[in-house]
Amino acid sequence: MTYELRDISGSVVVITGATAGMGAATARELVHMGAKVVLNARNESRLEELVLELGFENAVFVAGDCADPQIARLIAAEANERFGTIDAIVANAGIGMYGSILDFSDDEVNRMMRTNFEGTVHVIRASLPTMLEKGEGDVIIVSSVAGFRSGADEAIYAGTKHAQVGLAGGLDRELRQKGVRVALVCPAGTETEFAIGTGRTAGDPALSDYLRPEDVAFQITTILRQPRSVRTHIWTLWSMNQQS
């Protein structure tokens, strides 16, 4: 008998950082599987384009900074109003800046710390009550392999990723007996617009050796499709050409 994966058609999934890269790839894959998606990012015009592509019956968006608790609550409210529930949250919003701890301005550093950690915390806090009321759901935090080890050019960025790892560990212990699974998806470098101009260069041939956004989207949808009797907590991803 083959292993039975869950049918997630009709599931409602909130995705932050949804306009490009891993977030957009995940949204496309979920809609392909029949799920409904609630999309968040700062860029309203790109959100509108993605919803148009995915179909108004399948997707809705809330533009804004998910590190703002009010925006996070608006995202959850829109999910419940438009689709009636929340089945999963993919906390994917993130900013990358590579270089010395001294290379960037106070505002840039604070924006990265707020987006990567506070954006994760607040969107989970806003979405979680709906899942707890049902006694079922999934929290997926898109972190990074930098959450387990830091390179010399990523101290602050890696600190935000370590924070996500710590958050996920505590949430797993808090929520697993309440029916909510918590998983960390930790990719190595992925060929997206992430950190372009802040440590990475568009068109760099090295990017061709990186993971693809669709690789990460596959892991996220695999987590969601696992039987509810199973939870897996830490997923690390590397391309065949990346050193672990």
Catalytic positions, please?
A: 157
Sign of CA dihedral 234, 144, 161, 121: negative
Residue (of 90, 164, 94, 92) closest to 127 by Cα position: 90
DSSP for 119-176, written as a single string:
HHHHHHHHHHHHHHHHT-EEEEEE--GGGT---TT-HHHHHHHHHHHHHHHHHHHHHG
Residues in Cβ contact with 107 at an 8 Å cutoff, skipping those fewer than 6 apart: none
Lookup: tokens for 19: 């306009």
